[in-house]
Amino acid sequence: MGVEIRVEGLTKSFGRQTIWQDVSLTLPAGEISVLLGPSGTGKSVFLKSLVGLLKPDRGHIWVGDRDLPYLPESQLYDTRKLFGVLFQDGALFGSMNLFDNIAFPLREHTKKSESEVKRIVLEKMDMVGLLGAEGKLPGEISGGMKKRAGLARALVLDPEILLVDEPDSGLDPVRTAYLNQLIVDLNAQINATFLIVTHDINTARTVPDNIGLLFRRELVMFGPREMLLSSEEPVVRQFLNARKVGPIGMSEEKDVSELEAEAKMGHDPGKLPPIPPQLMASDGRVRPAQHAPGAWCAAHGVTPPPGSFIDDLGRNWVEEWPRYVASMAPAGADHVPGGPPPGAPGGRYPSPPPGQHGAGAGY
Ligand SMILES: Nc1ncnc2c1ncn2[C@@H]1O[C@H](COP(=O)(O)OP(=O)(O)OP(=O)(O)O)[C@@H](O)[C@H]1O
């Protein structure tokens, strides 16, 4: 199970430029969180601060009982091994083939034998669907393959925390959909704590357990996906619905006169769209940290927008969920007698741990 990361009052500036201030949030262990924000709001700076590549001006980053910004170099080095990071461009070495790129952290940070290195590299390449491409150079493969190679490299030290910076950058919508599925599948498999920075609204709406939004040098909101997707807060609503109406302007924020003009024109932000069902692991399993659809809304007395949690086949996943979970195999069994409920994704899923699925679990 991944570890929880607790960020308290974190502030970062470069010279006189404050990037963000007083950021506090908790990345729950094993859950997938997404960080959003207009360009330049410091999302990448936040990821780099989390992994200790940038030092904040003040505040705390608790990883277990270690406060990362204040660790002596030797402990920081150890703590960093808990993290796997996929940088925006994959950060692969151009002159090394994929095998050597992915093996790099193992050869650099462990004393494993070459046969052990080979076993681990091939296992991770298999996990991201790259088996057979070991000998290719980064310049010979597509953008999507580079991302997957970067992911395999981020996984070789079996991280407890996986940070992913813009997995969708430079990818077409279909490749983005495949990569999103891979991220959800990996979370189901390794159960680490994930934080993904993205601009892709579809990713933000369907993949994570939690969403955070940076704007005007602050973390506007961070919480369960359902909380943000049902929020009436203008910035959150504008961003998550990719609309022009709202406080975010062409170059960061609109001024008062622009907002007044918008109000005079009678522009209103419209109705909130339905909350889509969350993306499931491709074999249909419930991720250990996954919450029941509608659980946050039910626990907080929030009526989700009409049409929420209904999939393309018209099934309402709030109603479907107890049946879906109940039909799962008993712990240890591989297959569900009779298969999954009609139309449920995949046909093979393990029993979820107890206590994960009741309304309000974990909130
Ligand atoms: N090492 C650095 N030194 C000085 N300024 C920096 C440094 N790294 C980032 N910045 C500045 O911090 C701000 C935030 O950058 P960052 O890349 O984190 O934004 P972002 O939200 O990830 O943007 P995008 O969505 O466009 O990738 C920018 O103004 C950038 O120029």
Reported confidence tier of residue 171, pLDDT bands at 50, 70, 90: confident
Contact partners, residue 100, CB within 8 Å, separation at least 6: 93
Residue 11 pLDDT > 90: yes
Is residue 222 in some structural domain?
Answer: no
What is the pLDDT at residue 269? 62
ipTM of the complex: 0.97
For residue 272, the CA-to-ligand 1 centroid distance in Å is 31
34 is a domain residue: yes
CA of 324 from ligand 1 middle (Å) equals: 43
Ligand 1 centroid distance, CA of 126 (Å): 34
Range picked from 169-183, 230-244, 329-343 for highest mean pLDDT: 169-183
pLDDT by residue (tens digit) across 127-170? Answer: 888 999 999 999 998 888 888 899 999 999 999 999 999 888 87
- Is the domain of 58 the same as that of 136? yes
**CATH number for the domain harbouring residue 20:** 3.40.50.300
pLDDT in tens, 238-275: 887 777 766 766 555 656 666 566 666 656 666 788 99
Asked which of 179, 214, 249 is the last residue of a domain, the reply is 214
Structural domain containing residue 311:
272-363
Q: Does a structural domain hold residue 231? A: no
Question: Which residue is listed with tokens 């939004």?
Answer: 213
Q: Are residues 91 and 162 in the same domain?
A: yes
Nearest CA to ligand 1 atom 30: 40
Per the domain annotation, does 234 fall within a domain? no
Band of pLDDT at residue 210, cut at 50, 70 and 90: very high
Q: What CA–CA distance (Å, rounded) separates 264 from 253?
A: 18
Domain boundary among 167, 195, 214: 214
Number of compact structural domains in the chain: 2
43 and 118 assigned to the same domain: yes
Q: 189 Cβ partners below 8 Å, 6+ apart?
A: 127
The whole-model pTM stands at 0.85
Could you tell which of 44, 46, 55, 168 is best to mutate to test the pocket of ligand 1, judged by most ligand atoms within 8 Å of the CB? 44
The predicted pLDDT at position 283 comes to 87
Q: Separation of 89 CA from ligand 1 center, angstroms?
A: 15
